[in-house]
A and B are shown apart, each in its own frame.
Chain A
Amino acid sequence: MTTPKILVLLACCCALAIPVVAQPSNPAPAGQKPATAPGGPSTFTQLSEAAAKAREENRNDDAVRLYRQALKLEPKWKQGLWSLGMLLYDKDQYAEVRDLMRRFVAVEPQAGAGWAVLGMSEFQTRDYSRSLDHLQRSRRLALGDNKDMAQAIFYYVAVLQTRFEQYDDAMALLMGMRKSGSSADLLTEPLGLAALRYPLLPAEIPPDRKEMFRMAGQAVLADESQRRDEAEKLLSGMTAAYPNEAGVHSFYGVFLLNVRPSDGIRELKRELEIAPFNLTAKLRLADEYLKERQLDEALRLADEVLKLDPTNASGFLVSGETLVAKGDLERGIVALETARKLRPATVRTHWDLLRAYTSAGRVEDAKREKEEIEKLRRPDAP
């Protein structure tokens, strides 16, 4: 059994609980036909009670059979849908769990745990797009105080976000999990994938590069714990062992920018020789050149990013900052305004605009940016 599955089952123990005496969502019609042979339980009430008893006595196969029979008589019986779903999840029968949970959330749409189990089942049946949607939906709904359930959901959401190339969101979620006490071992590969920006699940990592992703993940964890020397040793070892792999030099370079910027620049340049379309490397390099006042180089790289990805908010941000630094206030403001439109919650953009508007004498616009910054800094800001 995989670690996430253990998490799921633990989580489900507390996520939704089931009444011992079942109540159908609507009374069964009078004169309903018996569902089993004479002598056995036949009415909905008898079947649901027998199912609950079998479940309590750990006669799970009997419980599954009885729940199925009861649900034939009362298809919208929420407790039955949930209980049968849990029994089958434990038996790895994910396609059937998925179908049960779809019926369950149709009658109980506010049940966060229902959406969570649905999303996890869809993950197992590799319906990843729906899985991510439904897990995200479960995050927005009440899950009670169940930390295990929340951690399981975060794990699946994060690995799916990586597969859908939402690397920054995945990284933030995984780091949040680490701070909440999730084991480093569970998070290492997902962190490595997000850090190196490969849209793969941990189970999809090519065997010949498993160590590369582990080293990257361990480096993230070391860096986050302020163990900088250990992080650098891991990253240096990773680039030495995998010198021609995309993403490796970029990740090391970004780390080094905070330690020895000239070495960071060297690594980012190396990355662009291997992967000339690595936008992250281009942007970080442009940002570094901007800091060093190498404005032409910074602008060239920012323009390249925007040519490759015309809706890249960070590209407009760096481009705008560089243009302002070069004294081209008008074009700089246009670029910064575009960055703001594309990603309104980035405080740095609003600061840039505040300064640029002030320089341009646009007092009202500057005031508005200041208000926006204050709004974004409130604890309840999105």
Chain B
Amino acid sequence: MLTAVLLLLSVSFANPAVPDALPKTFEAIAKAADQAREADRLNEAIDLYSKAVRLRPAWADGWWWLGSIFYEQDRFSEAEGPFRRYIALSPKPAPAYAFLALCEYETQDYAAARHHFELWSKAGSPRNDALRDVAGYHWALLLTREGRFNEALLLLAAKAQKLGAAPALTEPMGLASLRMAFLPENYPQQHREAVWLAGMAAYYCLKSDFPRSDDFAERLLQHYGQEPNVHYFRGTLLRFQQKLDPAAEEFQKELQISPGHAPALTEWAVARVEVGRPAEALTPARRAVELDPQSARAHYVLGQALLETGSYQESAHELEIAKRLAPESSRIRFALSNAYKRLGRQQDSKREQAAFLALKDKDNVLAPLDDKLKTPRGTGRPE
């Protein structure tokens, strides 16, 4: 009813002036389009580029600029078509994959967006820092939505220096930290405070400002200590600070709330191995592998525990599975090298040692984004 009232009221809009003489040939139209774009007359540029690509559909640059202007105006569904045409025509379409993926993210075609982000990263030409930042960021959001939380956190961590404790960063970090498979724009609103507190705790932990990280983490526990994933997250923060026993306690608390929490079982097992009690790690590690057979980290810690308790053959088997799941993990290669050595397989041990040396510098969470983006899909990289 109110809208009906609105629609009865009248004031006219001014129509834009139409130029007297429109260019006729493709060359003239294309030139006029470029001039309009350069002069920031974007609507005119859209009209002219549209005409130009109708006259010459193989004009890749025309599609590029058309897509770019629509993108600039947040008209994402309209930008998708031109970027697709550009990709089909251009010999080096890499940046367009990223722009197309960003448009698809905005139009909620998430599977296509992920596919095009992957094509962009495989093309190995990120174009510039700004595109890398925005594309890497949105890719991280999609990874979180898919439940690939550690990979998402790796990408987000790379933004920490530039973005600081901005909500744009801490909100997705909070979601990934609490293992909530949502986007910032669609998670249940009642979780907002928990996501904020977790994001801030994760951010300050990453910055090695542990007192401030602990402050936010304690506030999170104060109100949400009975929610799934909260104690697990607290444990990961403590582990990051090398507080291994308190971390193990938090993982155990998580298991009381969520008995089938494979990452908590895994991390608890890791903590046992790290404090020199590998025998205590065997049961939780086996349970973690059972619950999540695709987790490289679970196989790794089981392999490590078996290695340190003298079950070399079984250890090598688990580590080989871990290696298959996460071929770029240096620590798996190191452990496997040791297992082969204990089994007297010197050649295999040397090969794995060489792989370890080649990969070891890439395990840093702040390693260049390019390396991380080239990680094959479906790998459960142990961080």
Contact = CB atoms under 8 A, between A and B. Distances in A.
A86 interface: yes
Contact of A79 (B13, B42, B73): B13
Contact of A276 (B4, B6, B7, B211): B211
Interface string B1-27: 111111111111101101000000000
Contact of B74 (A10, A58, A130, A163): A130
Contact of B189 (A164, A204, A208): A204
A203 B9 contact: no
Interface string A96-130: 00010011001110000000000000000111011
A38 interface: no
B379 interface: no
A90 B6 CA distance: 11
A346 B60 CA distance: 53
B203 interface: no
B6 A86 contact: yes
A127 B185 contact: yes
A201 interface: yes
Interface stretch (A12-20, A256-264, A322-330, A348-356): A12-20
A201 B2 CA distance: 27
A125 B186 CA distance: 9
Interface string A179-219: 00000000000000000001111011011100000000000
B215 A17 contact: no
Contacts of B186: 126
Given A14-B9, A129-B168, A58 B4 contact: yes
A126 B185 contact: yes
A167 interface: no
Contacts of B185: 125-127
Contact of B10 (A19, A76, A165): A19
A78 interface: yes
A20 B193 contact: no
A52 B7 CA distance: 8
23 contacts: A13-B6, A17-B6, A17-B11, A18-B11, A19-B10, A78-B13, A87-B7, A99-B77, A102-B74, A106-B43, A107-B16, A108-B13, A125-B185, A129-B168, A199-B167, A204-B190, A204-B193, A206-B223, A208-B223, A277-B211, A277-B212, A277-B215, A308-B212
Given A18-B9, A19-B11, A107-B16, 11 more contacts: A9-B3, A17-B11, A26-B18, A55-B7, A56-B4, A58-B1, A90-B2, A102-B74, A163-B167, A275-B215, A308-B212
